[in-house]
C-alpha cells in the first residue's frame, strides 16, 4: 500500500516537472523568436519595455491609468509585429503623451502683464482690461476656469497677434488652431479607433504639442467653419467652449474624459456669422477699425521699425516722416486694419535697400516725406475726401458696415418719365429692396409737403442703383439715405456732397437705431465727410467713438427724415401746402435767430 502511494507521488511530481520544463523551454524559445523578430522589426520588444517604463513613471488620473494598463496587458499578449499591436501601442503612446496633470505656472503680475500688452499692441483697451481683470481674480481664486473670449473685428486689426501677446502676458504656452474651411467634426474630436489610421482630434494634438494642460488656445477664424455630410464642427466646439462641460471633454480616439477647464480659449472672427449656440458660450469683444491717428501711431511705433529690421536697414538709413505716413493712410490704403499699411511701408524699405545696394553707399540717409512719397509708392490709389465733389441730384453718401469695417456707400437714384416702374440694380439683397420700398412710401406720404405732384409717381420710372455692382449689399440701415436720394430725384434739388447718413426709416419717416456706428463713423472720417446724420437712439453709442473722430466730424442726431432734408438738400422745395416739414424748417430758423 505504501509503495503504491509513493509511486503515485513520484509519477505526479515527475509529470509536473516535465510540464514546467516544457513551459520554460517554450517560453525561452518564444523569447528567442521574439528577439529575432524584434531585430528584424526595429526593436519592437524594446518599445514595449519603454512603454512599460513610461507607464510606471507617468502621472495619470486613476481612470486613465486603469485604461492604459488594461491596454498594455493586451499589448504584451500580442505578436509585436502584428498590425493590432501597432494600433494598441499608438493608443497607449497617445495616452502617455497627453498632459493630464502637467500645467505651466501662470503669471499673475498685473503690472507686467499690462506692460507686455501695451508694448505689443496700440489701443484695444477693452481686451486688455478684460485680461488684466482675469489675472486679478486669479490672484485670489486658486481654481479659476479660463475665460472664453471672442474677438470680432475686421482683418488687420491685430486679433491673432493679440492672442500671442496675451499668452506672453499670462505666462501660458500658445497654441493656434486655424478653423477656416474646417468641415469635419473629427478634426475637433478625433476619429474612433475602429478606423484605420485613426488619430486624436486637433484639441488633444495641440495639447500634446505644448505638453501642458493650461495653454492659451487661439481658435482662429471661427466664423469661417463649414459643415457637410461629415458633421458640423461648430457643434463639436459647443462642448469645448462650455465652461460647465469642458472639464470632461471626450475625444473619440482616446475615449477618456480630459479636463479643458484650465485652458484659456480666445476665438477670432471677422463677423458675427457664428452659430447662436456657440456665440452664447463666448464673451464677445468687438475690435473696430483704427482711426487715422491710431494708424499713424502704429506705423511709427511698430510697422516702420519692423520693416527696417526685416529688410536689413540700420536706424539712420531710413526716416519716414509723419506726414508721409498720414499720406499713405489717406491715399494709398483704404482699410479698417493696418495690413495694407504694413505692405506699403515694407515696399518703401525694399526700395531703399535696393538703392543702397546699387549705389554701394555705406552712409545712405533717406528721408521719405509727402513730396517724394510717389517716387516710392507710385501715384495715389485713392482720393482722400469727398467734399470736393459737386452737389448732384439723386446722389447721396450712405454708410455701410461690412466684415472688413465701415465703408462709404454711394446711393444713386434717377427719376425719368415713364409709367411708374421701379428698377433696382447693384446686387441688392431682399432687406435692402424692402428698405427702398419703405423709403418710397415715406416720400409719397410727404408729396404735398415736398412740392411733388401726386401724378408724378405714376408718370415716372425710378431707378435705384448702388455702384460696385459685383459687391452684394443688404441691410436696412440705408433707409434715411434712400429717402433723401428719392426726394432729391423727384424735386431735382441736389444733395450736399460733404454729408453722409445712416439709419433705418419707418413708414412714418422716423429714424430707427442701427448697428456698427463706430465703424461707420470711422469710414466717414476717413472719407473726408463733414456732417453725418445718425438716429437719435444711437446717441448712447457715441461714448465709444474716439475724441479725434468726434472733433473731425459734425455728428447730428435726428428723430426723423424731416430734420435731415433741410440740411442735406442745397435748398428746400416749395410745398404745395403748408406742411409739418416746412413748419419744422421755419421753427428751426426762428430758434437759430434767438
Q: Is the pLDDT of residue 375 over 80?
A: yes
Question: 107-145 burial string, b = 16+ CB within 10 Å, else e?
Answer: bbeeeebbebbeebbbbbeebbeebbebbeebeeeeeee
Can you give the residue ranges of every domain in the chain?
25-97, 110-286, 292-377, 395-593
Q: What is the pLDDT of residues 67-120, one digit of tens each?
A: 988 888 888 887 777 788 888 888 999 999 999 988 888 877 888 888 888 888
**Active-site annotation holds for 66:** no
CATH of domain 395-593: 3.30.230.10
Report the DSSP pairing between strands 249-250 and 499-501: unpaired
Q: Is the pLDDT of residue 594 over 70?
A: no
Residues 586 and 580: their CA atoms lie apart, in Å, by 10
Q: What is the pLDDT of residue 593?
A: 44
Q: What is the pLDDT of residues 259-311, one digit of tens each?
A: 888 888 999 998 888 888 888 888 888 887 787 888 999 999 999 999 999 99
Catalytic residue among 435, 518, 520, 560: 520
What fold characterizes domain 110-286? Rossmann fold (3.40.50)
Determine the straight-line distance between the first and last CA of the chain, rounded to whole angstroms: 141
Residues 408 and 403: their CA atoms lie apart, in Å, by 14
Count CA atoms within 13 Å of residue 236 on its CB side: 25
Q: Is the pLDDT of residue 249 over 70?
A: yes
What fold characterizes domain 292-377? Helicase, Ruva Protein; domain 3 (1.10.8)
What is the torsion angle, in degrees rounded to the nearest 10, for the CA atoms of residue 376, residue 380, residue 382 and residue 386?
A: 140
Q: Which residues have CB under 8 Å from 70's CB, separation 6+?
A: none
Q: Name the phi and psi angles at 66, rounded to 5.
A: -60, -45
Catalytic residue among 477, 488, 518, 560: 477
Q: What is the pLDDT of residue 111?
A: 87
DSSP single-letter state for residue 495: B
SS3 74: helix
Q: What is the pLDDT of residues 461-471, one digit of tens each?
A: 999 999 877 67
**Active-site annotation holds for 70:** no
Q: What is the pLDDT of residue 585?
A: 47
Confidence of residue 592 (pLDDT cuts 50, 70, 90): very low
Nearest 5 degrees, angle CA 62-CA 68-CA 71? Answer: 145
SS3 249: strand
Amino acid at each position: 500500500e505504501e509503495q503504491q502511494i509513493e509511486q503515485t507521488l513520484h509519477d505526479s511530481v515527475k509529470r509536473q516537472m516535465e510540464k514546467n520544463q516544457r513551459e520554460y523551454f517554450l517560453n525561452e524559445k518564444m523569447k528567442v523568436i521574439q528577439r529575432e523578430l524584434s531585430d528584424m522589426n526595429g526593436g519592437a520588444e524594446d518599445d514595449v519595455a519603454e512603454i512599460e517604463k513610461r507607464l510606471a513613471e507617468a502621472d495619470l488620473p486613476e481612470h486613465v491609468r486603469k485604461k492604459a494598463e488594461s491596454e498594455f496587458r493586451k499589448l504584451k499578449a500580442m505578436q509585436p509585429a502584428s498590425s493590432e499591436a501597432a494600433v494598441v501601442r499608438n493608443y497607449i503612446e497617445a495616452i502617455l503623451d497627453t498632459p493630464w496633470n502637467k500645467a505651466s505656472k501662470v503669471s499673475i503680475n498685473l503690472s507686467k502683464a499690462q506692460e507686455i500688452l501695451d508694448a505689443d499692441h496700440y489701443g484695444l483697451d477693452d481686451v486688455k482690461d478684460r485680461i488684466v481683470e482675469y489675472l486679478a481674480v486669479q490672484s485670489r481664486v486658486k481654481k479659476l476656469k479660463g475665460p472664453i473670449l471672442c474677438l470680432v473685428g475686421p482683418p488687420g486689426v491685430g486679433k491673432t497677434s493679440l492672442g500671442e501677446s496675451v499668452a506672453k502676458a499670462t505666462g501660458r504656452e500658445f497654441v493656434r488652431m486655424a478653423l477656416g474651411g474646417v468641415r469635419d467634426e473629427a478634426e475637433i474630436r478625433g476619429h474612433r479607433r475602429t478606423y484605420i489610421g485613426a488619430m486624436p482630434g486637433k484639441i488633444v494634438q495641440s495639447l500634446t504639442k505644448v505638453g501642458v494642460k493650461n495653454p492659451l488656445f487661439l481658435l482662429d477664424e471661427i466664423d469661417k467653419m463649414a459643415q457637410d455630410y461629415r458633421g458640423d464642427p461648430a457643434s463639436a466646439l459647443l462642448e469645448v467652449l462650455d465652461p460647465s462641460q469642458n472639464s470632461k471633454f471626450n475625444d473619440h480616439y482616446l475615449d477618456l474624459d480630459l479636463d479643458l477647464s484650465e485652458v484659456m480659449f480666445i476665438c477670432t472672427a471677422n463677423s458675427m456669422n457664428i452659430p447662436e449656440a456657440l456665440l452664447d458660450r463666448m464673451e464677445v469683444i468687438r475690435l473696430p477699425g483704427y482711426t487715422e491717428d491710431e494708424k499713424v501711431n502704429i506705423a511709427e511705433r511698430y510697422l516702420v521699425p519692423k520693416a527696417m529690421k526685416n529688410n536689413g536697414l540700420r536706424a539712420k538709413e531710413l526716416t519716414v516722416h509723419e506726414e508721409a505716413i498720414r499720406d499713405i493712410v489717406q491715399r494709398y490704403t483704404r482699410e479698417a486694419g493696418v495690413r495694407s499699411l504694413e505692405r506699403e511701408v515694407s515696399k518703401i524699405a525694399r526700395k531703399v535697400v535696393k538703392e543702397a545696394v546699387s549705389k554701394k553707399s555705406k552712409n545712405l540717409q533717406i528721408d521719405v516725406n509727402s513730396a517724394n512719397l510717389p517716387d516710392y509708392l507710385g501715384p495715389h490709389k485713392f482720393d482722400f475726401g469727398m467734399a470736393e465733389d459737386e452737389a448732384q441730384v439723386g446722389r447721396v453718401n450712405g454708410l455701410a458696415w461690412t466684415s472688413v469695417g465701415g465703408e462709404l456707400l454711394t446711393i444713386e437714384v434717377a427719376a425719368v418719365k415713364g409709367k411708374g416702374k421701379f428698377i433696382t440694380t447693384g446686387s441688392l439683397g431682399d432687406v435692402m429692396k424692402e428698405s427702398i420700398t419703405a423709403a418710397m412710401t415715406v416720400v409719397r406720404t410727404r408729396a404735398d409737403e415736398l412740392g411733388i405732384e401726386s401724378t408724378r409717381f405714376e408718370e415716372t420710372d425710378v431707378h435705384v442703383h448702388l455702384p460696385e455692382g459685383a459687391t452684394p449689399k443688404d441691410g436696412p440701415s440705408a433707409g434715411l439715405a434712400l429717402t433723401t436720394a428719392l426726394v432729391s430725384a423727384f424735386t431735382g434739388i441736389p444733395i450736399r456732397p460733404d454729408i453722409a447718413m445712416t439709419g433705418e426709416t419707418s413708414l412714418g419717416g422716423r429714424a430707427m437705431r442701427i448697428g456698427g456706428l463706430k465703424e461707420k463713423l470711422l469710414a466717414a472720417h476717413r472719407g473726408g465727410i463733414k456732417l453725418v446724420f445718425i438716429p437719435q437712439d444711437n446717441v448712447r453709442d457715441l461714448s465709444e467713438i474716439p475724441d479725434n473722430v468726434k472733433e473731425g466730424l459734425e455728428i447730428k442726431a435726428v428723430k426723423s427724415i424731416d430734420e435731415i432734408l433741410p440740411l442735406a438738400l442745397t435748398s428746400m422745395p416749395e410745398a404745395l401746402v403748408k406742411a409739418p416739414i416746412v413748419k419744422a424748417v421755419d421753427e428751426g430758423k426762428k430758434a437759430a435767430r434767438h
